[in-house]
Structure 1
Amino acid sequence: MLFMVIERFKDGKTKEIYRRFQEKGRMMPEGLKYIHSWVEVNCDRCFQLMECDDLSLFQEWILQWQDLATFEIIPVVPSKQTAEIVNKTL
């Protein structure tokens, strides 16, 4: 299943986030797959597309970063797939 993760950097923690990432990587448990990410121009938020089948893997990952950021995890469906479903009902 796909998820859009909205990571909100805590005030003044941007450099610490990048420092930890350089030192330790994403620190993601096996089974949680990073696909791509985008960072807001003002460095307040990072939008990450991820994939996994076990939601507890997000809990394990977030525990590694919760001192520097907060997280919102949103299940998403590719727009092409959604269009196919909607088009069946038209």
Structure 2
Amino acid sequence: MQFMVIEHFVNGARPIYERFERDGRLMPEGLEFVASYVTADLTRCFQVMECEDITLLQAWVANWEDLADFEIVPVVAGSRVGDAVRARE
């Protein structure tokens, strides 16, 4: 399952990137990074993550929650939504 993770940087981007450069993504085995995008004002990051066990995502967030507030939304590719919509009709 894929998740859109929206990180709101608590004290700006610098502490996040310092830890990232020092320690890497700090992801548990089984959690996969798909892509990330940072806003132009460097206050938020949008990451697509993938895992089958939600506790892996929770463990990853625990490694960063002192530097960012997280919003996590399960998502599906837009190309797959048509099938779900048709199935409801």
Looking at structure 2, the residues matched to 22 and 44 of structure 1 have their Cα atoms a distance apart, in angstroms, of: 18
Deviation string 1:58-89 (CA, Å, 9 cap, x unpaired) is 12111111110011110001111002332455
Looking at structure 2, the residues matched to 13 and 88 of structure 1 have their Cα atoms a distance apart, in angstroms, of: 44
Matching residue's letter, 1:28? M
Matching residue's letter, 1:79? G
Q: Partner of 1:66: helix, strand, or coil?
A: coil
Matching residue's letter, 1:5? V
Residues 1-90 of structure 1 mapped to structure 2, 5 A cutoff: 1-10=1-10, 12-87=11-86
Cα pair 2:12 2:43 within 8 Å, conserved = no
How many equivalent pairs are there? Answer: 89
Paired-residue identity, % = 47
TM-score by length of 2: 0.92
Q: Partner of 1:53: helix, strand, or coil?
A: coil
Matching residue's letter, 2:20? F
> Alpha carbon RMSD of aligned pairs, Å?
1.3
Gaps of 5+ in 1: none
Matching residue's letter, 1:67? D
Cα pair 2:12 2:42 within 8 Å, conserved = no
Matching residue's letter, 1:30? E
TM-score by length of 1: 0.91
Q: Partner of 1:18: helix, strand, or coil?
A: helix
Cα pair 2:28 2:60 within 8 Å, conserved = yes
